[in-house]
Structure 1
Amino acid sequence: MKLRNSLLLFLTATIWGVAFVAQSVGMDYVGPFTFLFARSLIGGIVLLPVVAVLHRSGPGHAGETPADRRRARKTLLLGGVCCGAALCFASIFQQVGLLYTTVGKSGFLTACYILIVPLIGLLFGRKCGKLVWCGVALAVAGLYFLCLTDGFSVNLGDAITFVCAILFSVHILVIDYFSPRTDGVKMSCIQFFVCAAIAAAGMLLFEQPSLGALLAAWKPVLYAGALSSGVGYTLQIVGQKGMNPTVASLIMSLESVISVIAGWLILGQSLSGREIFGCVLMFAAIVLAQLPNAPKENAVN
């Protein structure tokens, strides 16, 4: 089960890593709220037939009372709303931060959720083993070599993006709480419509969206919506089920490595020796965190 979930999270990181290319191109045509609204709406729509098929073919719950069904619906709705709100605010902080900082710094600061997740977990009594903490430290070092090629200084964009990392940490922990308690695909579908609704409000307040601009950006928006949102975040919810959130965040942080590789393959951006070294450290961190004595941390509640 843990191997399968690890592979699902790695596939999630791959989809998200490639999505950096789509996100970069899409922002040439539309604003951050418009892009987020479109991708989230598409993500929710893509999952509607999946939810319908799973609901029709899924087994019933013998002995379930009407009160049980009401509680289950309430948990599902609450989980979808909480996940959607966390995802929306994290994503928009990332988009806005990119207007004021470099892509490399944004990648490093966003992926700092691998350190923030276990720190927040400590507040709720969740302890991590030594190998996991070593993996976190190694991953941070890897991200430094991978993303920060021009030194490090803090500006407005860096501060905004660091808030994004905190919010993505919250999103991971919210999923960790709700995924064992409800249907992951249904919750993912709800989260996208919630995210789209919040983004739509920001789009109408702060931007001037046009159908022509969205049509011009249809390829990156479709990828970001159908794959990065619809498939990627659903795989995250399903893959995180039963996984320690710190280990899950380490695997998903590989999106930074894959984004560099995608930039090389798709956009023709070359890899420096420093970046290759950072990739090696990142992969070593993932392996280290999942060695046999690493899963001895507190189980997911």
Structure 2
Amino acid sequence: MTRLQANLVLLLAGAIWGAGFVAQSTAMETIGPLWFTSLRFFIAVIVLTPFALWEHRRASMAPSGRDLRGFVAIGVSLFLAALTQQIGIMTTTVANSGFLTGLYVVIVPILTVLFLRRRPHWIIWPAAGLSFLGIFLLSGGALSQLTEGDLLTILAALFCAVQVILITVFAHSSGRPFALSLIQFATCAVLASAVALIVGEPLSLNAVTATIPEFLYSGIFSSGVAFTLQVVGQRYTTAPQAAIFLSSEALFAAFFGVLLLGETIAPIGYLGGLIIFAAMLMVEIVPEIGRNRTGEKPVASIG
């Protein structure tokens, strides 16, 4: 897979997640965030199990102990990100949530330098800043006074960044994208169920049946399909570049909010969308121009 193909895969994941914001927000009208998180990832486990078994039969060797521990760590970070975002969206505005979640676009390159000791291509920094600005404008260009939900969403952005970094490390080393996805989903589902039982979050059959469409979309597409696309795509690109393309979820969330919920976007929001798109083009085009000038051959695959 070429880097361009990988980035398009990540763009598709962002589109699926963008539509998932609609499902997440409507589901909170009938079910608690812990059980919603748990059940959506249990559905994802069911969806991914056949693919993980197929991958296991074709693999020459089992994942190492280090890889398995890494898969679990990715699941823990996914659980913390999903839960804090899900709880946060209950007590903040959709605009604030989309903007603050997008902070991971800026956090990822910083963590890449601090913990992986890798120096991103220089274009990542202005592109990350532009993506952050675009998300801000897409949210309306203003933030109300920070609430508890806003602070939780900022925390979710940090956990999202950690998950992106960990996937970059272990997707390369393991070469087992379906196993990674399956274990991270199972870890997330088990943790959410355990915490829901401990805190006594209510659950009823009526609440589950009332949110079946949200569960199916979130479990099959937002979780099973999109997160697996993320794992596959990140095998062939860098964490900072992945963060830029995944940030398109804010753009798609705004689009699907207008299409499905009748929401409106201010003119400044359309400018934000164009800025996000421009940042993605910069990440894709500028490194290619640099390689062409130096005569360096493009990398078709990593790991």
The answer, yes or no, to whether TM exceeds 0.5 is yes
Please give the alpha-carbon distance, in whole angstroms, between the structure 2 residues aligned to 1:143 and 1:266.
Answer: 20
Which residue identity does 2:108 align to in structure 1? V
- Consecutive unaligned residues of structure 1, counting only runs of 5 or more, are 62-68
| CA deviation string 1:57-106 (max 9, x = no partner) | x2x53xxxxxxx46x34234212211110000011111111122111111
Please give the alpha-carbon distance, in whole angstroms, between the structure 2 residues aligned to 1:150 and 1:292.
Answer: 31
Whether 2:212 is the aligned partner of 1:189: answer no
Q: Which residue of 1 aligns with 2:84?
A: 93
Listed as ranges, the matches of 1:31-180 within 5 Å are 31-56=32-57, 58=58, 61=60, 69=61, 72-123=63-114, 124-180=116-172
Please give the alpha-carbon distance, in whole angstroms, between the structure 2 residues aligned to 1:52 and 1:129.
Answer: 37
Give 1:150 deviation, angstroms: 4.3
Select between 37-46 and 149-158 the one with higher mean Cα deviation: 149-158
Judged with a 3 Å threshold, the aligned counterparts in structure 2 of structure 1 residues 149 and 135 are, in CA distance, closer, same or farther, namely closer
Tell me how large the CA RMSD over aligned residues is. 1.8
Asked if structure 2 preserves the Cα contact closer than 8 Å seen for 1:203 and 1:209, the reply is no
1:242 to 236, 251, 255: 236
Which residue identity does 2:224 align to in structure 1? G
Please give the alpha-carbon distance, in whole angstroms, between the structure 2 residues aligned to 1:239 and 1:114.
Answer: 16
Listed as ranges, the matches of 1:247-262 within 5 Å are 247-262=241-256
Please give the alpha-carbon distance, in whole angstroms, between the structure 1 residues aligned to 2:144 and 2:235.
Answer: 36
Which residue identity does 2:93 align to in structure 1? T
Judged with a 3 Å threshold, the aligned counterparts in structure 2 of structure 1 residues 242 and 101 are, in CA distance, closer, same or farther, namely same
Q: Which residue of 2 aligns with 1:8?
A: 9
Counting matched residue pairs gives 289
Select between 206-215 and 148-157 the one with higher mean Cα deviation: 148-157
Q: TM-score, normalised by structure 2?
A: 0.90
Q: Which residue of 2 aligns with 1:227?
A: 221
Give 1:51 deviation, angstroms: 1.7
Which residue identity does 1:110 align to in structure 2? T
Select between 47-56 and 238-247 the one with higher mean Cα deviation: 47-56
Please give the alpha-carbon distance, in whole angstroms, between the structure 2 residues aligned to 1:29 and 1:229.
Answer: 20
Asked if structure 1 preserves the Cα contact closer than 8 Å seen for 2:104 and 2:157, the reply is yes
Q: Which residue of 2 aligns with 1:218?
A: 212
- SS class of match (1:129): coil
- Consecutive unaligned residues of structure 2, counting only runs of 5 or more, are 292-298
Asked if structure 2 preserves the Cα contact closer than 8 Å seen for 1:9 and 1:248, the reply is yes
Sequence identity, in percent?
A: 33
- SS class of match (2:172): coil
Which residue identity does 1:258 align to in structure 2? F
Asked if structure 2 preserves the Cα contact closer than 8 Å seen for 1:105 and 1:148, the reply is no
Q: Which residue of 2 aligns with 1:205?
A: 198
Q: TM-score, normalised by structure 1?
A: 0.91
Asked if structure 1 preserves the Cα contact closer than 8 Å seen for 2:140 and 2:268, the reply is no
Judged with a 3 Å threshold, the aligned counterparts in structure 2 of structure 1 residues 91 and 11 are, in CA distance, closer, same or farther, namely same
Listed as ranges, the matches of 1:261-276 within 5 Å are 261-276=255-270
Give 1:202 deviation, angstroms: 1.6
Give 1:149 deviation, angstroms: 4.5
Give 1:281 deviation, angstroms: 0.5
- SS class of match (2:264): coil
| CA deviation string 1:94-139 (max 9, x = no partner) | 1111122111111111111000001111113221233211111111
Asked if structure 2 preserves the Cα contact closer than 8 Å seen for 1:9 and 1:235, the reply is yes
Please give the alpha-carbon distance, in whole angstroms, between the structure 2 residues aligned to 1:76 and 1:45.
Answer: 22
Please give the alpha-carbon distance, in whole angstroms, between the structure 1 residues aligned to 2:90 and 2:211.
Answer: 18
